Each structure stands twice: as C-alpha cells, then as structure tokens.
Amino acid sequence: MSRNINRYSQKRTLARVWQYIKKYWIYLALSIVTAALTVVLTLYLPILTGRVIDLIVEKGKVDFDGVFRILRTMALAIAATAAAQWIMSVCNNKMAFRIVQDIRNEAFRKIEILPFQYIDGHSYGEVVSRVIADVDQFSDGLLMGFTQFFTGVMTIIGTLGFMLSVNVWIACVVVLITPLSFFVAAFIAGRTYRMFRLQSETRGEQTALIEEMIGNQKVVQAFSHEKEALEKFDEINGRLGKCSLKAIFYSSLTNPSTRFVNNLVYAGVAVSGALYAIRGGISVGQLSCFLTYANQYTKPFNEISGVVTELQNAIACAARIFELIDEEAQIPDADDAVSLRHAEGRVDLDHVSFSYVPDRKLITDLNLAVKPGQRVAIVGPTGCGKTTVINLLMRFYDVDTGRICVDNEDIRHITRSSLRAGYGMVLQETWLRSGTIRDNITMGKPDATDEEVEAAARLSHAHSFIRRMPQGYDTEIGEDGGNLSQGQKQLLCITRVMLCLPPMLILDEATSSIDTRTEIRIQKAFATMMQGRTSFIVAHRLSTIREADVILVMRDGNIVEQGSHAALLQQNGFYAQLYNSQFAETKK
C-alpha cells in the first residue's frame, strides 16, 4: 500500500493536472481576469462605505448629495461584481468539466488497450471506482479550487494593498500575524494527503467487493456465503471508517485553527486602529474601512483552508487515475503487421510455451498443426490449459516462447483486429449488452439485413423464442441479457456467430446451458456451419465431440494423446479413462 501511495507525489500529480488545464488557457485567463475584477470591486466597496460614514458627521450635518452619489457608485459596483462572478463561474465550470471529460476519455481509451494480464489481475469494481468515483471526487475538488482559490488569493493580496494605501502601520500588524495562518494550514495539509489517498484506495476496495457480491448474488446465497461476505464488508468498511475519520479530523482542524489566527488579526487591527483614531491619525470612516478589510482579509484564509482540504482529496484521487492511465498498454501491432484477409484456416503451434505466472509452468513445448477445414476438439481435466490455448490463438496473451502461425504467418505479425475478425467465438460465459436483440446479434456485422439476421436465428434455433418476445427482434434487453434465461442468452451468442460465419471457429462449451433437445439441433447447425472452416471445440461432455476430425487430449499443459474418437478409445489411454468415467453411471 505504501508503495502505491508514494508512486505519485503531490508535485508530480499537480504538474500532470496542469497539462490538462493548459489546454483551456482561454477559460483560465478569463477566470483570472474576472476574479481580479470581482476582488477589486469588492474591495472598493468598503472605501465607499467609509466615505459615506465620514459624510455623516452628526445630526443635521449630513451631505446627502454626496451620500447619494456614492450610493449610485456602489450600486454600479455591485452590479458589475455580480456579472463578473457569473462569467467566472461559467468559465470555471466549463474548464473543470472538460478537464474531467478528457481524463475519463483517456482512462477509458487506456482500458481498451490494457493487456488482459492487468484486467485479470485487478477487480472490475476497483477499476470502475477509479474511473467513476475518483474522477468525481477530483472534479469536485478542481471546481472548488477554480472557484475559491483564485478569488481568495487575490482578495488577500488586494486587501493588503488597500490597507497599505490607507495606513502602513496598521497594515504591518496584519502582515506580522499572517504567517502564523500559513504555517497552520501547511502543517495540517501535509498530513491530510496521505489520509485521503488511503481513503480513496480503501473506497475502491469496498466498491470492488460490492460489485462482486451484487454481480454474483445468486452464487453467494446458493452457497450460504452471506455471513462471510458481511464479515469481509464490515472489515473493509471498518478500515474505511478509520481512515476517513482521520482524514476528516485532520482536515477539520484547518478551519478553526485559521479562524483563531484570523480573530487575532481582526483584534490587532481593531486595537491599533482605535488608538490611531483617538489620536486623530485616521477618521472613523477609515477605521470602519480597515475593520471591513480585516474581516475580508481573513475570510479567504478560511475558504482557502477548505479548498486545500478538498484539493488534497482531489490530488489523491487524480493520482489513482493517472496510475491507471500510465499503465503499460498491450504490445501494439508491429509496424510491418499484415491484415488477415480471406484466411484459409491453417493454424500451427510451433514449440509454444506459456504461463500466466513466471514461476508456475502451464504450457510447455506445445506443437500442433491444424489443416484448413479441420475440426479440432480439445479435452482434458480442469486446469490443463484448454482455455489458455484459446487465449493464445486469439492473441489475448502472447506466447512466452515459440510461435503461433495462421496461414504460415506469425500472428504477432498480423493485426489483432483482422486476426480476431477471422475467428467466430462462442464461450460458455455469454456477453450481451444493453440494447435490442437485433443489436446484439449484428454486433460483428452491423450492416446485416433483416433477412440475414432472421436466417441466422433460424439456424441457431433462436428465432422461435425471439418471435415470442414483446417486440420480436426489436425487444430491448438489459445489461447481460436482462431477464433472458442462460440458454436463451447462449442462443443469441451462437446466432451472432452464425451471422458472421468467419473462416475459423472457437466453440468453448458453446451448448453448456442448452437443453438436450435443442443441443441436438444446434449440433446439426454447427456441423453445417463448420464445413470448410477450421474449428476448435473445447468440451467437457465428450459425447459432443465424437465427430471431430482430431481430438487433442491435454494434461498439465501438454498434448498427451491425439487422434479420432474411435482411435483414442482403441488406445485405451487417458482419453479412454476420461470417456469411460463420464459414462460409468450409465453403464451401471
């Protein structure tokens, strides 16, 4: 945890934020100008007020003409101040939200090109927390900084200048006490950043747990895991409460501390100004002006202390976002990468070795030659590397050693988009997005006609249930299929591949959630679809792969047997053991 906290220092994060701010320098400049105008006009009002007081000497001796002239001037100054504040607010909002928009866009673009190793190694909730919650926190702090920081600093400088112009000695009293306020604010701010950073990271951990529990609530309840989930949540929530309490405690010290110093300033001005007024050094109106300035001078310190607290939180959140943005992207396509067009479907694995973790071997020296149009089934016990082979074929991961070739071309010299477009993939885990059923089917072929979509749905036997939906193919479904059954979701995924019909197919337990009767029909549709197409079939139910041209039997990352179903049974080896174990109950 400490390593992550130190990875992005405050200075480095601020410098990074400044790079985003510079793009909107017009808004920044206009905000500073209007802030300066607001401060000048605001500080001019106490002078006018002091002049009005001096025109009211005593009963019967009031210069009404002079008072009304000053009041008109004050009205114009107030109107101009309101207009300047409105323009400043518009500029600050546009600048803050456009910066946040840029950061979110950059973060999302980075997520799309992050290697799968990062996605697999981080919980989805933690990544979502960075892009959503942390950016929102950063936006709030940035907006407050733009709104109050500029005006606060300028108010302090302007007030001090006006006080020096009225009376140097009383202004010196203010200057001498002021550094104490800076020291207090700096002392507290230096300790709040670490607390807010820890709070942000713990909040991300909590979001990850909530996302995981809600997304898998059925599994949690089915295995009576509620108590353990609650205990885990309570533990994280407790840590979040502690670090949040510390962060809020330290930050809350800033305001009362600076207010104490500010009251000292006000008292010093009142006492010294009163003594000067008694001696005739300043008028009563000037003393009133000074007291107003003393109050205006100290007020920004309270506001700035609050801004500093928010900025500490914002910087901590920004550091987490920048860590995501600066993560190393996947290896880009080679400069000489070719686009795979009209693939024949020849696939070769030449001395391939791969492991997710360097010290834990998975696939070692794997060799395989698949001819165009062959149906290759991959079987084996859990964890033997079946799905890993699929990941390598699709280049979700790159091999550690050796090479994988498609049509005699190393896939590292083929663009990822064209390589993946050459495969049709149906997995055991379905993926559907919010939208219509038609949108989900045409994902790989957006320009497909209604006739093509319906023909594909008939082939996959999805047409019958789609037709019964309220709006048929135009029925809206929610994220991950909404209320569709798992089998219906899988039928839509199969329809998606049926529509595209790429030259190579990957079927990873594609019919695992479909009833036996429908599965028989789909197997016939698959048989038609696989004709002339290289197909990789991962299956646990060995009865579904009897018609495969070649069956690869994997064990501990190696191919231990290969051949047709009949030949492997005749060998009476590992495949025969797997096959017989599945049908042992039937034989009994």
Q: Which domains does the chain have, with CATH numbers?
A: 2-325 (1.20.1560.10), 373-381+417-587 (3.40.50.300)
Q: Measure the CA–CA gap between 514 and 517, rounded to whole angstroms.
A: 8
Contact between 38 and 88 (Cβ < 8 Å):
yes
User: What six digits make up the tokens of 246?
Assistant: 């510390």
Confidence category of residue 57, pLDDT binned at 50, 70, 90? low
Q: What one-letter code names the amino acid at 537?
A: I
Q: Measure the CA–CA gap between 55 and 61, rounded to whole angstroms.
A: 8
- Predicted confidence at residue 6, as pLDDT, reads 45
Average pLDDT over residues 120-149: 78
Residues 6+ apart with CB under 8 A from 129: 203, 204, 207, 208
Which residue's structure tokens are 């529509």?
Answer: 499
Look at residue 588 and tell me whether its pLDDT is greater than 50: no
517-546 exposure pattern, b = at least 16 Cβ within 10 A, e = fewer: ebbeebeebbeebbeebbbbbbbbebebbe
Provide the mean pLDDT of the chain: 80
pLDDT tens, 323-360? Answer: 888 888 888 888 888 888 888 888 888 888 888 877 77
pLDDT tens, 82-127? Answer: 998 899 888 888 888 888 888 889 888 888 888 888 887 777 777 8
DSSP state string for 266-295: HHHHHHHHHHHHHTTSS-HHHHHHHHHHHH
Q: Measure the CA–CA gap between 160 and 174, rounded to whole angstroms.
A: 8
How far from the centroid of its chain's Cα atoms is residue 95's Cα?
Answer: 20
Contact between 100 and 17 (Cβ < 8 Å):
no
Look at residue 587 and tell me whether its pLDDT is greater than 60: no
The whole-model pTM stands at: 0.64
481: left (phi over 0), alpha (psi -120 to 50) or beta: left
Q: Measure the CA–CA gap between 546 and 579, rounded to whole angstroms.
A: 11
Confidence category of residue 79, pLDDT binned at 50, 70, 90? very high
DSSP E strands, 444-579: 476-477, 504-508, 534-538, 550-555, 558-563
pLDDT tens, 181-213? Answer: 667 766 766 667 677 778 877 887 888 788 778
Average pLDDT over residues 17-42: 85
Among the residues of 329-468, which ranges form H helices?
A: 386-393, 416-421, 437-441, 450-459, 463-467
pLDDT tens, 266-301? Answer: 777 777 777 777 776 677 667 777 777 777 776 676
DSSP annotation of 320? H
